[in-house]
Chain A
């Protein structure tokens, strides 16, 4: 057991009181967390030492260390901890919160992301009025519930990257076509949509998260829908795990499970084959955190012609792309202190399987892995595709202009 000192005690006890996993005071310093952490070797204070130092009341040193901004929210430490301590959702955000409350500045890119969320309600700092930009030229109708409130089956929260980011916009359009092809009655929040806020909470910006929760409470109030569907695993985590704490309880599904539950209807509409060897990258949030390993494989496996192969470190041992929980905006910091990017390592693993396509199910991963392919010289050898894109191809629901 950790020896408690008075100054470290209050912090860890506070943390225990949040109900995030078991009490960190139960840590037996086995070091499995540090050994598991994909960046642990590069950290001044890997997770085990973080806990030890925190308990020893040496918070000041921890808060000033670059280590504080190196966790990418992959859940591996929490997942493997034999004492059930929740480091990813508990310890790290709490330390970061402490740091920012003490006036320690997070890396500038992260500050900018926070400012973007605060000002515009999206991580990219884009105009909220252009939220529906992704649907430009879309050949299926988009029901904007903020303008025409009416009961729907699915409230699809499109998400920041799918709404704005050029590489993700075709995924959003493909998903819209699939929903429509399945006969689902769906709607979006249109220009009113606001980030659900997950990365900010992970980065200890609890106040910002609460502000976004409040905004979304206003938005969702009075709307009639059977469930929320999201493309972003982190947003799934936010609604599933954190929103209920604020009295907001909604049935929510990540698109992978939503579609996997409709596999027979999907399969019936698969008219084209996708002749390719594909490997799947398990994302950390819906994957490891929610143990959702089979549904994405079921979706890929249903595609005619597609050959699914597994890469090393799959399912619960998956290696993070490095973008989680705000890591998306910390690459410079992490490369500076860690020496490499996880996405570069991961795409090499994908290439070693001989697959031509790396399939993903998280909006961050498309640009992260495509970038990694360029950096590692694998561009043209390993294509990065969202599962949604592969399904749309099999269902002959691809972009008209690219046909």
Chain B
């Protein structure tokens, strides 16, 4: 029964299978169990073979191999995915809330006139209907939505679904899109090159301790004592997007959707409100301690420990307390 299948877009930006794919497959699996359908992973590239092993959580793997899919570009990707969806007629299409997802999911929904739900944190079938819980308003509101029309395009927030861990024997097939992917409309956006950040700065993704700073630090010069604290902890300072936008820290220190995804042993969040764009980049941290003046800040929803305090009041005593412990 094809209208019960759940399709997952497996992204491979810069030749790496996105870390979100396993989560999407996990989410898709629980849905497919409820609908009685299959999980179909779709991989768009010039040659998808090397990624097949990472997609074993699916029942079927559909590879679309085409030279114009070698690097991501919105229009060829959209055309290819659209063709697969039209051939497979799934119940739902799961796309990560990623840089690529933010292009493809809404374009797909607009082209197909299909329902789209952003920021999905939970997805289920309830009374035979597709239901999702979506985060909006910077994480300050949740919407429970119902979607009847198929296919539903669901943009999934990272960090909310257990990765699929049942390596099955996925059936592998290739799909030749019936459309020309490199010419016509698809030529409107052409990939030119990857631009990497200037080398030299530390790599925050390899740090075991990170001190994250957000808008709450208020002034650039407040970074200095925080840097000292990070140093004493043996970690590094990273930041949410507003701080990087201000030019107070380089983009290499940005955590979140458009920055790095980090999984340190300790993430000390100072003056970070906890917008989903930031949270998705650090929610995998082992221990999260958050300091914020707003008791309702969403960061306290994901933190293990919280402190309602002006962060600058805490930084100095904390630095001293840690120094004292370490000295012993």
Binding site for B on A (CB under 8 A): 108-109, 165-167, 329, 331-332, 335, 371, 374, 379
| Residues of B with C-beta under 8 A to A379 | 316
Tell me whether B220 and A109 are in contact (CB under 8 A): yes
A166 touches B309 (CB 8 A): yes
The 8 A-B residue pairs with the shortest CB-CB distance, nearest first, are: A332-B220, A332-B221, A374-B316, A331-B221, A166-B310, A108-B246, A109-B219, A332-B219
Shortest Cβ gap from A4 to chain B (Å): 40
Q: How far is the CB of A133 from chain B (nearest CB, A)?
A: 10
**Does B313 make an interface contact (CB < 8 A)?**
yes
In the bound assembly, the distance between CA atoms of A62 and B175 in angstroms comes to 66
Cα of A166 to Cα of B225 in the assembled complex, Å? 20
Closest CB of chain A to B48's CB: distance in Å?
45
* New A-B pairs, 4, CB < 8 Å, besides A166-B309, A331-B221: A109-B219, A166-B293, A167-B313, A332-B219
The verdict on B312 contacting chain A, using a C-beta distance below 8 Å, is yes
- Closest A residue to B320 using CB positions: A379
A166 to B219 CA separation, bound complex (whole angstroms): 17
**A124 (CB) vs chain B CBs: closest residue:** B218
Identify the closest chain A residue to B315 (Cβ).
Answer: A374
Report how far A167 CA is from B313 CA in the complex, Å.
9
Digitize B224-258: 1 where CB-to-A-CB distance is under 8 Å, 0 elsewhere: 01000000000000000000001100000000000
Q: How far is the CB of A229 from chain B (nearest CB, A)?
A: 26
Residues B309 and A335 in contact, CB atoms below 8 Å apart = no
**9 pairs, A vs B, C-beta closer than 8 Å:** A166-B309, A166-B310, A166-B313, A167-B310, A167-B313, A331-B219, A374-B225, A374-B316, A379-B316
Complex Cα–Cα for A167 and B220 (A): 20
B184 to chain A, nearest CB (A): 43
Contacts of B221 in A (CB 8 A): 331-332, 335
Assembly CA distance A23 to B22 (angstroms): 74
A109 to B242, CA, bound (A): 12
A166–B313 Cα distance when bound, in Å, is: 10
CB distance from B248 to the nearest CB of A (A): 8
Contacts of A165 in B (CB 8 A): 310
**Least Cβ–Cβ distance between B273 and chain A, in angstroms:** 12
Shortest Cβ distance from A169 into chain B, in angstroms? 11
Instruction: Return the CB mask of B293-328 against A: 1 if under 8 Å, else 0.
Output: 100000000000000011011001000000000000
CB distance from B89 to the nearest CB of A (A): 48
The distance in angstroms between the C-alpha atoms of A378 and B313, with both chains bound, is 15
B310 contacts across to A, CB distance below 8 A: 165-167
Chain A's closest residue to B310 (CB) is: A166
Residues of B within 8 A of A374 (CB): 225, 316
Tell me, rounded to whole Å, the shortest Cβ–Cβ distance linking A115 to chain B.
12
CA distance A109 to B215 in the complex (A): 11
CB contacts (< 8 Å) of B225 on chain A: these are 374
Cβ of A331: which chain B residues have Cβ within 8 Å of it?
219, 221
Instruction: List chain B residues, Cβ under 8 A from A109.
Output: 218-220
When distances are taken between beta carbons in the complex, the residues of chain A under 8 Å from B220 are 109, 332
Residues of A contacting B247 in the complex (Cβ-Cβ under 8 angstroms)? 108
User: In the complex, what's the smallest C-beta–C-beta distance from A109 to chain B, in angstroms?
Assistant: 6
Contact of A371 among B246, B293, B309, B312 (CB under 8 A): B312
Minimum CB distance partner of A328 in chain B: B219
Report the separation of the CA atoms of residues A108 and B248 in the bound assembly, to the nearest whole angstrom. Answer: 10
Report the minimal beta-carbon distance from B224 to chain A, rounded to whole angstroms: 9
Most interface-central of B225, B247, B316 (chain A CB within 10 A):
B316
A401 to chain B minimum Cβ distance, whole angstroms, is 15
- Given the complex of chains A and B, what is the CA–CA distance between A167 and B293 in angstroms? 12
| Inter-chain contacts of A335 with B (CB < 8 A) | 221
The winner among B219, B247, B309, B310 for most chain A CB atoms within 10 A is: B219
Q: Inside 8 A of B246's CB, which chain A residues have their CB?
A: 108
Q: Let me know if B219 and A329 touch, CB within 8 A.
A: yes
> Roughly how many angstroms separate A329 CA and B220 CA in the complex, as a whole number?
10
Given the complex of chains A and B, what is the CA–CA distance between A109 and B218 in angstroms? 8
A165 to B220, CA, bound (A): 18
A74 to chain B, nearest CB (A): 20
Q: Write out the residue numbers on chain A whose beta carbons fall within 8 Å of the beta carbon of B316.
A: 374, 379
How many angstroms from the CA of A165 to the CA of B216 in the assembled complex?
12
Min CB distance A50 to B, Å, is 25
A389 to B312, CA, bound (A): 22
Instruction: List, in ascending order, chain A residues with CB within 8 A of B309's CB.
Output: 166
CB proximity of A205 to chain B, nearest CB, Å:
19
Which of B220, B246, B293 has its CB near the most chain A CB atoms (within 10 A)? B220
**Min CB gap B129→A, angstroms:** 38
Min C-beta distance of A353 to chain B, whole Å: 24
